[in-house]
Amino acid sequence: MGRTGEKIILDGKGVERVLTRLTHEILEKNRGASDIVLVGVALGGVPLSGVIRQNIKNIEGIEVPVGVVDITLYRDDLGKVGHQARLKRTEIPFSVDDKRVVLVDDVLYTGRTIRAAMDALIDLGRPKNIQLAVLVDRGHRELPIRADYVGRNIPTAQSEEVEVCLDEKTETWRVVLREGAPDKGE
């Protein structure tokens, strides 16, 4: 337990197990890893997509391409969020045409980030399909969007905050639910 009102939902081992299951689900649904590309949503989805890639390599012996999509330029709240957001970088150094693109994000919340990520992907080419893998689905959708692969469904209040953190030194994960933090969106 950390600060008061903080609850650990998944520890390092737990996150690893969940990601292993998600990897198997992805491979099962797509009958292998051919034509699959992983795209992490900056910033939270990026390290997760790296883990899934490694898992696929361990299971199938195939190295699937991994990219990063930054959705800032596709946001629908430009100019409404106090200050201008710092841009990250979209890095998808391969064609997404006719690929099965698995979008990877840490927390699925309103769905607005995923809407923006899909628009960004479609500007880059014409994928065969787009699938969504998330570590945590916390509900409160504002758009008709659903994930294909869900690590954990966590019922939350909108006033609560879900944080997925990666300790870079020990390479251990943690998923934390906090109370009362101001709602900052996904």
Partner 1 sequence: MDWKRKHILGLSDFLPDEIEFVMDTSRSMEEVLSRDIKKVPTLRGKMVVNLFFEPSTRTRTSFEIAGKRLSADVVNFSSSGSSQSKGETLLDTARNIEAMKPCILVMRHNASGAARFLSRHLSCSIINAGDGLNEHPSQALLDLYTILKVKGKVAGLKVAIIGDILHSRVARSNIHCLGKMGANLWLCGPATLLPREMARTGATLTNDIREAVKNADVVMTLRVQSERQKATFFPSIREYFRMYGLSNNIFSLAKDDAILMHPGPINRGVEVTNDLADCGRSVILNQVESGVAVRMALLYLMAGGAHVAD
Residues lying near partner 1 in the complex (CB under 8 A) are found at: 70, 72-75, 78-91, 119-120, 123-125
* Residue nearer to partner 1 on the CB measure, 18 or 69: 69
Q: Per-residue DSSP letters for 124-178?
A: H---SEEEEEEEEE----SSS---SEEEEE----TT-EEEEEEETTTTEEEEEEE
Q: How far is the CB of 65 from partner 1 (least distance, A)?
A: 17
* Residue nearer to partner 1 on the CB measure, 12 or 65: 65
CA distance 106 to 32: 23
Q: How far is the CB of 116 from partner 1 (least distance, A)?
A: 9
Q: How far is the CB of 75 from partner 1 (least distance, A)?
A: 8
* Residue nearer to partner 1 on the CB measure, 96 or 166: 96
* Residue nearer to partner 1 on the CB measure, 130 or 135: 130
Contacts of 136 (CB under 8 A, 6+ apart): 9, 106, 107, 108, 150, 151, 152, 154, 162, 164, 175
Q: How far is the CB of 8 from partner 1 (least distance, A)?
A: 31
